[in-house]
Structure 1
Amino acid sequence: MLEYVVRQTAAYMESMPKQIRKKSGQFFTSIETARFMAGLFAIPAQPEITILDPGAGTGILTAALLERISAIPAVERVHLICYETDEKIIPVLEDNLRYVTAHCLKKADYELRTLNYITSQENAFNGCLFPESGITCDLCIGNPPYMKIGKDAPEAKAMPAICYGAPNLYFLFAAMSLFNVRDGGEMVYIIPRSWTSGMYFKRFRQYLFSHGVIEQIHLFTSRDKVFDTEQVLQETMIVKIRKQRQVPSDILVTSSEANCDFRHLQQISLPYSDVVSGSDQYVFLMTNHREVDAICLLNTFPYTLPDFGMKMKTGLTVDFRERESLRNTEVDGAVPLFFAQHIQNGHICFPIGKEGEYLVPSRKSLVQPNTNYLFIRRFTAKEEKRRLQCGIYLAEQFPQYQTISTQNKINFIDNADHTLSKDVVYGLYVLFNSTLYDVYYRVLNGSTQVNATEINHMPVPAISIIEELGRALLKQSDITEKTCNQILEGFLHGKNQRSSSHS
């Protein structure tokens, strides 16, 4: 059955350019991934099972799950509910559903709903009138559309309790699917991993963890091989969720390089509280004991930057919007405009002859005090060794300026109330330039963008310890990652010795 659907899908993909499919967030699951996802379900031993596929596409996931259920004697009948609104693909899906239900070893029938999966259940989800517009299923399998929508889009308005800012369709689909699953039922989704942290997804996480629990996570170590025929550069994961309140003791985390090789899995079983952690219920996606050790170690630190009045913020100037104000050389009224390229080996090098590295500010919001900062690049390439790339900015390097500006592709840490001391800036550099913090951030956020929200939530030691780390670095002749590791490890070793002596 599944091979037939895959052949039909390949024919459709050849006839429909990727650019057209991308506009609706349409990316098809491979046969290997579909079978792996279907294999994650614990199929209930009951006579009849209802399956929901909320963004069915050509029906690959439905076919894979139906194929698996066909081999389970206890199940006698299967009812399929598939949603799809793309008029170009509906004929392919309907043909595939007719084929798989006719060739299934069980009694099988299907409903093909050409309604908007989100808006058609708005009343039911929000507890309004006509709750019968909602559906209930035993198992839900999904590869939802990956597409940002406006905060005023009908789908966003249909689920206001889940949205913060401009949402993405994929997590609205996931929330609605959990709503549709019966108590004790399961859902398996392949989705981007961006929902696991950050403010934009906080309400979704709150909904998810107030109605369900994660039982298994699968991670792909190579993001460009998940939808290998589609060239999707998206950090993607598979997650299995059970609709229940009782939290399990452990979560199974598996990983593989690509979608075509699920036979050689790495796996690790982790305490649930280590994976789903903190008041914001971030999900830490750890795949090995090195990452587990980093998370557990840093989570013993009792503070965050805002506890000391410090915050990481995004650079102030969007340079392409200020073209008229940019200058290649210093002129009257101009201030330095710092870019990511000015961060070099932990130091700030300026000027470097870069085009537009001076700014004649057109308004006050484009400048900030010339004070001490820790700069951190906002964007890095996937293949780069480090995600956190920092530079120490000291005002004493540029005494001729009262104000400076920062381009919005770098972040900076400051204190709005007073100047950061040199010891603090160097101490922050020790932390964020260490391997330990880089590992922590990679686990916390799978994207190549360094976000202020996550940095401001990362645990840090007491301010006196940060100053101590800074003083230790100031005595060194180099400020490499290796040096930072040695200083931080020295502190942690002493901390462990002190804890042992007290015990």
Structure 2
Amino acid sequence: MTSEIRHKQKEYSQTKSDEDKKILGQYFTDSPIAQFMSSLIDDEVLNPDKVKLLDCGAGHGILTVSTAFHLLNKGINNIDATLYEIDEQIISNLSEVLEELKAIFAKEKKIFNYNIINDDFVTLRPDLNTETKYDLAVINPPYFKYSVKESIYAKKTTDLFKGDPNIYASFVAITLSALEANGQLVAITPRSFLNGLYFKGFRKYLLDNALLELIHIFKSRKEVFTDSDILQENVIFKLIKNGQELDEITISSCNNITDLNTPNIRVYPKDIIIDTSNNESIIRIPETEKDFQILQQAERLPSTFEEEGYFISTGPVVEHRTKEYLTSKHSQEKQVPLIKAHNVFINGIIWNGNNKKDISFNLLENFEKHLVPNIRYVILKRFTSKDENRRLVAGVYIPIRNLKQIGITNKLNYIGRKNSTLSEEEANGLSILFNSTFMDDYYRCISGNTQVNATDIRIMKIPTREQIIQLGKHSSSFKTLEYDTIEKINEILND
């Protein structure tokens, strides 16, 4: 039956433009994913005589159907399903699917009842406006960002969590709120909520009100939603509302949907997955045993970025908003260099005006607010391709000429000291640290984003300032300021 639904999904998707799909955040679940998600349900804790099932953003009903068949095979006698779907054009197909499912249950002398609500799940807030509480929810919510000033979704979930990061966060939070105690929630969403400032309030709500039991990751981003060209990195996760405390969290993985039946499964201590050493509550994913060892090593580092007196900021020059200041003609009079991503190398920053991509910043009226003091920094790229070998690329900026200020694009982060200036040895030490394979792998465990967020850097464990300076003193030991293992750094730090 799921294959028939899948066929309907594909036919329907072909009638929708990419723009229409983006507006609704509509990306249909493939049948192998639906079956995998339903397999995560713990049927032993459910009442076999009545299970209340919630599916918000139901689409053509593939998650409800897959879940219902799973429960039927596990001996559940009665399912009462509530499905929310905002797209009116899908409702007739959805009704046909559920009627067929109801007939199949009847042949088995079981009961399947359903209620389709053709309305907006978030604006309705069923967790507040209905008395029904659900035992189980299996969901693929829509995802899109919305205007915090103009959207109907802005501030709709402020009673649950702070912020408006993405519509999928609202769907998940409301669903969790609508569950009974010990209710199970299985969802597929973007990975973006696991870290970062925007999702901080959402993460806190989830972890304060539910137990994270499992996360499943896809190593390929290209074959999760096969009806679209999106390259969003997605995860499947399972939560238990107000469940008993767990000491371990399961991480499973596969390459894509073709090997979902044989996932690689590992169980890790909870404190490795959820970082409780700060108030960010980031969720870290070791994809391999090597990643687990890296996180263990990182936990043994003695300090953090902020504890050692460092700051990290995003470059203030937003190029499309400062076009009148920018020029490719370099006169050195009433202008300063603008440091861009192509100027950043692990051996240092190279800006000499000879590269055709080099840009100067003209010192026109009100230029000051766009520039930073011309002192020594470590420059860290903010953006790299997912397929690039490195996520972290850092270079030491040595002040160019006798200038008071310098331009740094917002495609870069710059690192310095809060109350003083980086010394040469300290800057070299930081560059060595951030260009290390160890630090790069550590960051990948923290963030699945190709964007390097300053928030994530601030909470990373690092050596002490004295140890970083010691690293800088040994910079000549690193031929390219890049190395493959943590052993060299430990050797120097333990001298």
TM-score when normalising by structure 1: 0.92
Aligned to 2:115: 111
Question: Any idea what SS the aligned residue of 1:442 has?
Answer: helix
Aligned to 1:346: 347
Picking from 406, 415, 421, the partner of 1:413 is 415
Aligned to 2:288: 288
How far is the alpha carbon of 1:353 from its aligned partner? 2.2
CA distance in 2, matches of 1:8, 1:229: 12
Picking from 241, 248, 271, the partner of 1:250 is 248
Aligned to 1:149: 146
Aligned pairs for 1:51-66 within 5 A = 51-66=53-68
- Matched AA of 1:81: T
CA distance in 1, matches of 2:451, 2:159: 26
Contact 1:150-1:167 within 8 A present in 2 as well:
no
Contact 2:378-2:430 within 8 A present in 1 as well:
yes
Aligned to 1:83: 84
Aligned pairs for 1:36-185 within 5 A = 36-43=36-43, 44-73=46-75, 75-104=76-105, 105=108, 106-121=110-125, 124-125=127-128, 132-152=129-149, 153-162=151-160, 164-185=162-183
Aligned to 1:21: 21
CA distance in 1, matches of 2:312, 2:162: 21
For the aligned residue pairs, the C-alpha RMSD in angstroms reads 1.8
Percent identity of equivalent pairs = 30
Count residues with an aligned counterpart. 483
Contact 1:430-1:487 within 8 A present in 2 as well:
no
Question: Any idea what SS the aligned residue of 1:109 has?
Answer: strand
How far is the alpha carbon of 1:356 from its aligned partner? 5.6
Which shifted more, 15-24 or 110-119?
15-24
Aligned to 2:447: 445
Aligned to 2:303: 303
Which shifted more, 314-323 or 137-146?
314-323
Contact 1:121-1:134 within 8 A present in 2 as well:
no
- Matched AA of 2:372: Q
Contact 1:62-1:141 within 8 A present in 2 as well:
yes
Q: Could you list the per-position Cα deviations for residues 20-65 of structure 1 after superposition, in whole angstroms to 9, with x for gaps in the alignment?
A: 1122110011110010001010112521111100111111111110
**Are residue 193 (structure 1) and residue 197 (structure 2) matched?**
no
CA distance in 1, matches of 2:470, 2:91: 64
- Matched AA of 2:57: G
Q: Could you list the per-position Cα deviations for residues 209-249 of structure 1 after superposition, in whole angstroms to 9, with x for gaps in the alignment?
A: 11111111100001111112312111100001111243212
CA distance in 1, matches of 2:139, 2:406: 49
CA shift in 2, pair 1:270/1:477, >3 Å? closer
Question: Any idea what SS the aligned residue of 1:251 has?
Answer: strand
CA distance in 2, matches of 1:304, 1:361: 37
Contact 2:413-2:454 within 8 A present in 1 as well:
yes
Question: Any idea what SS the aligned residue of 2:173 has?
Answer: helix
- Matched AA of 1:107: I
CA distance in 1, matches of 2:254, 2:361: 47
CA shift in 2, pair 1:77/1:208, >3 Å? same
Segments of structure 1 that go 5 or more residues without pairing to the other structure are 126-131, 496-503
Aligned to 2:257: 259
Picking from 384, 387, 410, the partner of 1:383 is 387
How far is the alpha carbon of 1:165 from its aligned partner? 4.7
Question: Any idea what SS the aligned residue of 1:467 has?
Answer: helix
Contact 2:316-2:371 within 8 A present in 1 as well:
yes
Contact 1:306-1:456 within 8 A present in 2 as well:
yes
- Matched AA of 2:130: S
CA distance in 2, matches of 1:484, 1:391: 19
TM-score when normalising by structure 2: 0.93
